[in-house]
Every structure is written in C-alpha cells, then in structure tokens.
Amino acid sequence: MARTTGSHSDITGPRIRDVAMRLFAQHGYAAVSMRQIASDVGVQAGALYNYTPDKQSLLFGLMQGHMEDLLAARAARDVPEDSLAQLEDFTRFHIAFHMERADAVFVSYMELRSLSDENFATIETLRRRYEDELEQILRQGVCTGVFSVPDTKIATLALIAMLTGVNTWYRTGGRLSVEEVETIYWDMVRKAVAP
C-alpha cells in the first residue's frame, strides 16, 4: 500500500537514486558496492532491496529515467519554423539540459556496457530516438539548402559528440555561464553545417 502521509521513508527511494547516480558517476557501476551506496544513504545494505530488486535494475532505472527525462524535456519545447532556428534550439537545449545533469549524462554514456543485453537494447532505442530528432533537423535543412553536410547520420553523431563533450570540462562556478557556453558552441555548430 502506498504511503499517504509524510515519513522518513518517503525520501529514501529518491535518496538512493541520488546517491547511486553520484557514486556510479564517480567510480563506475562495477566499482561501487551496494554496501557503499547504503552507507552513503545512511542505511544497511539489505534495506536497498526494498527499492530495487537488484543492482542491475538500479542502474537501469537510473539510465532509463534520465533518457525519458531527456525526451520529455525535448518534447515539451515548441519547435521553431525554420531549420536554422531549430538547430539553434536543439544545440542550446542539449547543452543546457546536459550541463545540469553531469552525473546522469556520464553514467548513461559510460555504463552502457554494464547493462544486460535486454536493458541495453531498451536504452539504445531511447538514445536513437533522441538522435533522430537532430538528424531530422539536419535532413530537412539539407533538403532546403540551408545546411550542407557530407552525411546527415555522421554529422548528427559528430555534433552530439561535440556538444556532450562540454561535460568533460565544464564545472559549475567556472568562468563561463551556461548561456555563454551555449553561444560558443552554437557558433561552431552553425558554421560546421553551413553550406
């Protein structure tokens, strides 16, 4: 039965996810034990199994949640008319969304190999769906002559790799604001696909 009133346990689930995401990002899935997660949450290892059937499901749930958040946030935006504005919107969205979720991005990127075959397939489908949004933008722009790229599929992957690369160096509180980073990357993206 679902809890209807506030109690300390109502926050244990989210807390486990937060702690696990941070630890997985920091040390990697295989290097983090259930006891470490439990210890950081402030609980014994056995208690974790009230919230996840096993360690693998914990990782999968984190990655699936992240990808669904990404797709939902993307879908919530209304798309501009012309291709150029669409690409700018995608660029700024991608950077802003990923910058404030460094841990989730890192985990979703690095721990694909730690997923079971079935879970991997599920995550890959979600990732593909996101990539397709960018490729659609590029394809349409190429059609109308606004963009020119040698290969839309490769350009898609190249741009996403470049944009996600922000996470390797950006640290909150650095010399650049999110908007400044967005603008810097948009400048390069715009030119990279220019005719």
Partner DNA sequence: GTTTTATCTGAACATATGTTCAGATAGCAT
Partner DNA sequence: ATGCTATCTGAACATATGTTCAGATAAAAC
Query: Is residue 121 within the footprint of a copy of itself (CB under 8 A)?
Result: no
Query: Is residue 162 within the footprint of a copy of itself (CB under 8 A)?
Result: yes
Query: Is residue 113 within the footprint of a copy of itself (CB under 8 A)?
Result: yes
Query: Closest distance between DNA and the C-beta of residue 116, in Å?
Result: 11
Using an 8 Å Cβ cutoff, are 44 and 38 in contact? yes
Burial of 29 (0-12, 13-18, 19+ CB in 10 A): buried
Query: Is residue 53 within the footprint of a copy of itself (CB under 8 A)?
Result: no
Partner touching 72 among a copy of itself, DNA, none, CB below 5 to 8 Å by kind: none
CA distance 22 to 13: 14
CA distance 50 to 46: 8
Joined together, the tokens standing for residue 114 give: 């730690």
Partner touching 43 among a copy of itself, DNA, none, CB below 5 to 8 Å by kind: DNA
Query: Closest distance between DNA and the C-beta of residue 28, in Å?
Result: 11
Using an 8 Å Cβ cutoff, are 93 and 133 in contact? no
Partner touching 165 among DNA, a copy of itself, none, CB below 5 to 8 Å by kind: a copy of itself
Q: Given candidates 81, 169, 172, 173, which one binds a copy of itself under the rule CB under 8 A? A: 169
